[in-house]
């Protein structure tokens, strides 16, 4: 490299570093004032998608309030929803695919960027726990289908019939109906649980688990088990998760996008809103296309945003336990 080019490159390099350091949301950034008064971190905090998040948060909170770690909290938290037979969109009791099989997707990610996932997994009640085993016991990130089930059984998980009578009934009705020609996604046939937690050490983990789009094609995998789409965590910045039409989330690497927007200086609310706007921009037809993002930053600040009205999330921290209606772009 010539000296001239070297200087040019170095100058650009330094400029880049300075710019990055000055980006308002870079958690390392401090104004003169902030250097002496660092921003306080609210912790522990746990947030989860939809109403079922309240019970899931309760389970997570029993771990967080005792000083437990965020990874255990998110795993145990979403297991409550997975094991609830009355929930039609996650784990046991989830609505099946068009062939009548309940197939599950899940992933988990910790504060050290370690992650594990399972997809198209059948007859195992707690896919999130299998995803954690993939993360901790294998050199891989994702196992799918029969391989994922074989692995789960070898790890001591039991086979369970996940198709409860009520879900089977609903599937039979759907088969007889006109809807089967075009399975749409709407507020009745989807609802992943995505959970993000920051523990008392300031470490963030996330979990995401679903039975996916009701009456989907057999073999379909959505965004929920895909690291960067359904879930992403970077402990230096924050974490994000998604719910809604997985195909749309995958197309913009949704959760990773939200985390990167927070890295650039956006608040969790602003980052989720910009990701939603990108989804709208990238789809020719967004009629009925619901997606919601949920995010937490490393200060414990939270936010959410969706394409259509109706997305809400559960928050639990030292002060409060409540549901929050996310902001949105459109009315149904
Ligand atoms: N994102 C999930 C999927 O596409 C479904 C949902 O959240 O409703 O499988």
CA distances from 81 to 17, 26, 78, 230, 234 (A): 43, 34, 5, 17, 25
In a domain, 38, yes or no: no
Determine which of 18-27, 114-123, 298-307 has the lowest per-residue pLDDT on average.
18-27
Across the range 174-198, mean pLDDT stands at 74
Q: Which residue, 244, 237, 251, is CA-closest to 295?
A: 237
Q: What is the pLDDT of residue 61?
A: 98
Residue 152 has pLDDT above 80, yes or no: yes
Residue 15 alpha carbon to ligand 1 centre in Å: 41
Residue 26 has pLDDT above 90, yes or no: no
Task: Report the atom number in ligand 1 closest to the C-alpha of 246.
Answer: 4
DSSP 272-302: HHHHHHHHHHH-S--TT--EEEEEEETTS-E
Question: CA 116 to CA 296: how far, in whole Å?
Answer: 20
Q: What is the pLDDT of residue 135?
A: 98
Q: Which residue among the candidates 103, 192, 209, 257 is catalytic per the annotation?
A: 192
Task: Report the atom number in ligand 1 closest to the C-alpha of 49.
Answer: 7
- Ligand 1 contacts (CB < 6 A) are 190-192, 210, 212-213, 222-224, 243-246
Residue 39 has pLDDT above 90, yes or no: no
In a domain, 16, yes or no: no
Determine which of 1-5, 86-90, 255-259 has the lowest per-residue pLDDT on average.
1-5
Query: Is 192 an active-site residue?
Result: yes
Looking at residue 308, which CATH number applies to its domain? 3.60.20.30
How many domains does the chain divide into? 1
Residue 68 alpha carbon to ligand 1 centre in Å: 29
- Substitution candidate for ligand 1 out of 184, 240, 246, 310 with most atoms within 8 A of CB: 246
Residue 121 alpha carbon to ligand 1 centre in Å: 15
Residue 42 alpha carbon to ligand 1 centre in Å: 29
Residue 299 alpha carbon to ligand 1 centre in Å: 28
In a domain, 2, yes or no: no
Q: What is the pLDDT of residue 41?
A: 78
Please answer whether residues 102 and 162 qualify as being in contact, where contact means their C-beta atoms are separated by less than 8 angstroms. Answer: yes
In a domain, 233, yes or no: yes
Determine which of 10-14, 38-42, 57-61, 229-233 has the lowest per-residue pLDDT on average.
10-14
Q: What is the pLDDT of residue 20?
A: 34
pLDDT band at 33 (very low <50, low <70, confident <90, very high): very low
Across the range 256-281, mean pLDDT stands at 98
pLDDT band at 197 (very low <50, low <70, confident <90, very high): very high
Q: What is the pLDDT of residue 212?
A: 96
In a domain, 23, yes or no: no
Q: What is the pLDDT of residue 296?
A: 98
- Substitution candidate for ligand 1 out of 53, 213, 247, 326 with most atoms within 8 A of CB: 213
Residue 274 has pLDDT above 80, yes or no: yes
Q: What is the pLDDT of residue 182?
A: 56
Question: CA 199 to CA 76: how far, in whole Å?
Answer: 14
In a domain, 309, yes or no: yes
Task: Report the atom number in ligand 1 closest to the C-alpha of 189.
Answer: 8
Across the range 264-289, mean pLDDT stands at 96
Task: Report the atom number in ligand 1 closest to the C-alpha of 185.
Answer: 8
Mean pLDDT value across the chain: 88
Across the range 161-187, mean pLDDT stands at 81
* Per-residue pLDDT tens over the stretch 72-85: 999 999 999 999 99
Residue 32 has pLDDT above 80, yes or no: no
Across the range 60-74, mean pLDDT stands at 98
Q: What is the pLDDT of residue 4?
A: 32
In a domain, 20, yes or no: no
pLDDT band at 18 (very low <50, low <70, confident <90, very high): very low
In a domain, 79, yes or no: yes
Boundaries of domain holding 82 = 45-330
Please name the helix (run of DSSP H) or strand (run of DSSP E) that holds residue 312, with its range, or none: strand 312-317
């Amino acid at each position: 490299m010539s000296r001239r080019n070297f200087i040019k490159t170095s100058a650009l390099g330094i400029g880049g570093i300075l710019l990055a350091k000055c980006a308002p949301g870079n958690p390392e950034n401090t104004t003169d004032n902030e250097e002496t008064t660092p921003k306080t971190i609210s912790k522990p905090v746990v947030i989860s998608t939809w109403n079922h998040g309240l019970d899931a948060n309760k389970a997570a909170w029993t771990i967080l309030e005792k000083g437990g770690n965020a990874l255990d909290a998110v795993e145990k938290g979403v297991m409550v929803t997975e094991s609830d037979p009355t929930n039609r969109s996650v784990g046991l009791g989830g609505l099946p695919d068009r062939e009548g099989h309940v197939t599950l997707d899940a992933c988990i990610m910790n504060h050290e960027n370690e992650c594990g996932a399972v997809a198209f997994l059948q007859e195992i009640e707690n896919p999130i726990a299998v995803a954690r085993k993939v993360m901790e016991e294998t050199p891989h990130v994702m196992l799918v289908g029969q391989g994922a089930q074989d692995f789960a059984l070898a790890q001591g998980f039991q086979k369970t019939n996940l198709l409860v009578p009520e879900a089977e009934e609903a599937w039979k009705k759907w088969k007889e109906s006109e809807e089967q020609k075009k399975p749409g996604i709407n507020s009745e046939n989807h609802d992943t649980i995505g959970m993000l937690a920051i523990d008392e050490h300031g470490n963030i983990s996330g979990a995401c688990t679903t039975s996916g789009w009701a009456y989907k094609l057999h073999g379909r995998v959505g965004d929920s088990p895909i690291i960067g789409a359904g879930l992403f965590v970077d402990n230096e910045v924050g974490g994000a998760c998604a719910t809604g039409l997985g195909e749309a989330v995958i197309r913009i690497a949704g959760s990773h996008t939200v985390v990167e927007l927070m890295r650039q200086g956006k608040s969790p609310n602003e980052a989720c809103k910009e990701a939603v706007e990108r989804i709208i921009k990238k789809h020719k037809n967004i009629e009925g296309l619901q997606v919601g993002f949920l995010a937490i930053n490393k200060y414990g600040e939270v936010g959410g945003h969706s394409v259509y009205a109706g997305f809400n999330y559960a928050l639990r921290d030292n002060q409060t336990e409540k549901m929050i209606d996310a902001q949105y772009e459109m009315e149904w």
